[in-house]
Amino acid sequence: LDDVKYFVKHVIGGVIQAIGDIEIPTIAAVNGSALGGGCELALACDFRILSDDAKIGLRETALGIIPGAGGTQRLPRLIGYSNALLWILTARIFTANEALHHGVATMVTVKDQLHATARQLAEEIMANAPIAVRQAKKAVQLGLNTSLQNGLEIENECYNAVIPTNDRVEALKAFQEKRKPKWSNS
């Protein structure tokens, strides 16, 4: 039993936590089934794009356990307490459209467009200043689990971190010159 506890906490949970801690935006492209740990892996990402025939859910309570790799913590932060309990306590398998309706899926697309849709979202994000993207993600992540006042302070710190950057200066110059900015990530 100790081996199972260690494996779930440090191996599976560690990998999923490492994904959740990445400072750049992460996108899960779900094709087929993402059940249990697969769902928890998707929940650790910032965006979840599902193929229209995908299935997703936290099935652990049907197996006599609970989600042990972040599902009980990430899901309610994403979709609220009652909806998270619906997912966890019923152990239902949800369709892609149900996941979209509940707020678990960011987008649903046809199966043959799944990777193209994920890539398009990534490119849309990458068109913006890298430092600003990282600081915006940081502000949202850190502010989510604190009071509004503390969240506003975090936002201000992240805002102040982008002010002295070359990318901000380049963005203003590009705006004045009516062209796309050339980001230097500095």
Query: What's the confidence (pLDDT) of residue 38?
Result: 95
Query: What's the confidence (pLDDT) of residue 39?
Result: 97
Query: What's the confidence (pLDDT) of residue 1?
Result: 67
Domains identified in the chain and CATH numbers: 2-126 (3.90.226.10), 130-176 (1.10.12)
Q: Which residues of the chain have pLDDT under 50?
A: none
Catalytic residue among 60, 123, 157, 170: 60
Q: Which of 95, 89, 82, 47 is nearest to 67 (CA)?
A: 89
60 is catalytic: yes
Catalytic residue among 40, 124, 157, 177: 40
pTM (two decimals): 0.89
Helix axes 130-144, 166-176, angle to 10 degrees: 120
Query: What's the confidence (pLDDT) of residue 145?
Result: 87
What is the spatial distance between Cα 84 and Cα 82, in angstroms, rounded to a whole number? 5
Question: What DSSP string describes 148-186?
Answer: HHHHHHHHHHHHHHHTT-HHHHHHHHHHHTTS-------
Q: Which of 64, 38, 77, 76 is nearest to 87 (CA)?
A: 76
What is the spatial distance between Cα 26 and Cα 185, in angstroms, rounded to a whole number? 18
Instruction: Work out the burial of residue 23: count CB atoms within 10 Å of its CB; fewer than 13 is exposed, 13-18 middle, 19 or more buried.
Output: exposed
Query: What's the confidence (pLDDT) of residue 10?
Result: 65
153 is catalytic: no
